[in-house]
Structure 1
Amino acid sequence: MKIRIICTLFLFACISCEKDGKLTFEATTFDQENCDDCPLVTITVPKALGTSKIVRTVNDVVTEEIISLLNFDEDNDAETINSAMESFRKEYQTLKEKFPEESMQWEAEIQGDVVFEDARILTIRLKSYLFTGGAHGYSTIRFSNFDKRKGIELENSKLFKNKGAFMDLAEAKFRSQEKIPATQSINSTGFMFDGETFYLPENIGFTPEGIQLLYNQYEVASYADGPIILTLPYDEVKDYLTVKIKT
């Protein structure tokens, strides 16, 4: 497999970064070598440059997310993207040996980008498409949020001062966007919330437009519906956030 470092830095990684406190990134691409018995794998992710705590945290989290996406073996102990790609290849080859006439070539495409950054908060988005047989592949989007000052990843539970009040606001906005009457069940128009109760998605991210709530396929709707996205402007949610966002 090959690793290519793309010398052109992302647009946000410029001379002014030192002045506005933004991190510097470069795009790193991992390719699976072409062969008849290999899956098609392409991974391009932003790599933070430097030696600070937040740099190490960002790069570790991105690596862990990619390993998780490629993991099809509970006993897999991959610690690097390369070793995760190798494990993915071996799983494909094992399946092909068992079912040579039925196995279709696996694919994995993962694209990462910095979707939001200010002096305090950084959000990285990973878009992935995986095909490991069946009628179709599966696409997901994952957000990872970071507190740059503390050098840590922010869990969703730490994003809000009053989660209950925020959920009430989010549900009202969700119902308005999806045209679900306030007097009817959240699932009355075809959604599939467990227990017929609204809840926040697994993926919540900071974007230039506001806090984005992203439900991946199958999370609350069918595959055909695609991802369900609700974006709440910062001026509407600032009182609920544990951090102040500068836009």
Structure 2
Amino acid sequence: MKKILSLSFLVVFLFNACKSDSKKEDTSVTEESLTEESSVELTSISIDSNAFEICKENECPTIDLNYLVAKGKNADKINQQNQAYLVEIFNSTPDSSSSKNLEEAAESFIKEYFEFKNEFPESPASYEAELYQEELVKNDSLLTYKTKFYLFTGGAHGYGAIRFLNFNTKTGEKLSISDLFSNEEAFTSYAEKQFRKKFNIISQSINSNGFFFEDDTYSLPENIAITENEVILIYNPYEAASYAQGQLELIFKKEDVQEYLNF
């Protein structure tokens, strides 16, 4: 195993870390090809361990990140909000960072790894960060990113999840769950009936089969996507059930719930 640098030497290298040739971009869409009036277009950026100088001389945690960058109308607003969203994912690790973008968050993740290894050099544990972002929906009114990620920082297991990030294409503003619905209360009632049916909860408490909704009251998940034909609800681990129960998913035909939707 390669020698771990001391923390003092690490700091010098880490924050002069990134080289542009290791940060890969799909350049099929250029700024010149888009006008102020055009719709948003998306490209993909990749960052891996080779993007950091220190990782070329030392054993680093696994870093494999792929995220979307918007170009065109409202792109700056969309990109700023997406970067903040991606940094928030990394803030679920033991030491929340004040990183301004995903690249800085990855640097902080590597720094935490070396601090851990300097304190516990005999530990076999390693760190791992994988993230993949893709376009799920893009039309005249709605843009939805699907983000799948997995983080491991030692312990019994890591944490992985799927998240949806919704934007109003016309304004570039991030949409809340409530913004997706014309009648959120009616949709919630419909979703609860379908949830109870799927998990065989007839007349009992919503938490009777091992779920832990707050105040024993059904609620919508944090991640909802509206595609051309479906409405997808995802409860990630710990959101409504234990880690062992994994991800819970409900999918409705859009035609069955269209009356409750804004998109």
Both proteins in one fold, TM over 0.5: yes
Decide which of 41, 48, 69 is 1:31's aligned counterpart.
48
- Pair 1:236 & 2:249 matched: no
- Is the 1:145–1:206 Cα contact (8 Å) retained in structure 2? no
CA RMSD of aligned residues (A): 2.2
Please state how far the C-alpha of 1:138 moved relative to its aligned partner: 0.8
- Pair 1:199 & 2:207 matched: no
> Structure 1: which 4+ aligned runs deviate by more than 3 Å?
34-37
- Pair 1:70 & 2:87 matched: no
- Pair 1:97 & 2:152 matched: no
Between structure 1 and structure 2, the one with the greater Rg is 2
For residues 103 and 156 of structure 1, what CA distance do their matches in structure 2 show?
A: 41
Deviates more, 1:23-32 or 1:203-212: 203-212
Change (3 A) 1:228 1:44: same
Letter paired with 2:49:
Q
Change (3 A) 1:60 1:200: same
Please state how far the C-alpha of 1:218 moved relative to its aligned partner: 1.4
Alignment-derived partner of residue 12 in structure 1:
none
CA-to-aligned-CA distance 1:161-194 (integer Å, 9 cap, x gap): 222221111101111122221x111122222222
Please state how far the C-alpha of 1:195 moved relative to its aligned partner: 2.2
Please state how far the C-alpha of 1:103 moved relative to its aligned partner: 5.3
**Normalised TM-score (structure 1):** 0.85
For residues 247 and 80 of structure 2, what CA distance do their matches in structure 1 show?
A: 27
User: What SS does the aligned partner of 1:153 have?
Assistant: coil
Alignment-derived partner of residue 64 in structure 2:
42
For residues 162 and 152 of structure 2, what CA distance do their matches in structure 1 show?
A: 15
Q: How many pairs were matched up?
A: 231
Please state how far the C-alpha of 1:7 moved relative to its aligned partner: 4.2
Deviates more, 1:190-199 or 1:105-114: 190-199
Alignment-derived partner of residue 242 in structure 2:
222
For residues 192 and 103 of structure 1, what CA distance do their matches in structure 2 show?
A: 34
- How is 1:79-94 mapped onto 2 (pairs within 5 angstroms)? 79-94=100-115
For residues 257 and 108 of structure 2, what CA distance do their matches in structure 1 show?
A: 42
Please state how far the C-alpha of 1:45 moved relative to its aligned partner: 1.3
Change (3 A) 1:237 1:30: same
- Is the 1:44–1:111 Cα contact (8 Å) retained in structure 2? yes
**Normalised TM-score (structure 2):** 0.80
**Percentage identity across paired residues of the two chains:** 35
For residues 154 and 145 of structure 1, what CA distance do their matches in structure 2 show?
A: 5
Decide which of 216, 229, 233 is 1:213's aligned counterpart.
233
For residues 24 and 210 of structure 2, what CA distance do their matches in structure 1 show?
A: 45
- Structure 2 unmatched runs, 5+: 1-17
Please state how far the C-alpha of 1:37 moved relative to its aligned partner: 4.0
Please state how far the C-alpha of 1:105 moved relative to its aligned partner: 1.2
For residues 229 and 118 of structure 2, what CA distance do their matches in structure 1 show?
A: 48
Alignment-derived partner of residue 196 in structure 2:
175
Alignment-derived partner of residue 153 in structure 1:
174
For residues 106 and 76 of structure 2, what CA distance do their matches in structure 1 show?
A: 21
User: What SS does the aligned partner of 2:103 have?
Assistant: helix
Please state how far the C-alpha of 1:70 moved relative to its aligned partner: 1.8
Please state how far the C-alpha of 1:96 moved relative to its aligned partner: 1.3
For residues 123 and 58 of structure 1, what CA distance do their matches in structure 2 show?
A: 11
- Pair 1:4 & 2:28 matched: no
- Structure 1 unmatched runs, 5+: 10-14
Alignment-derived partner of residue 5 in structure 2:
none
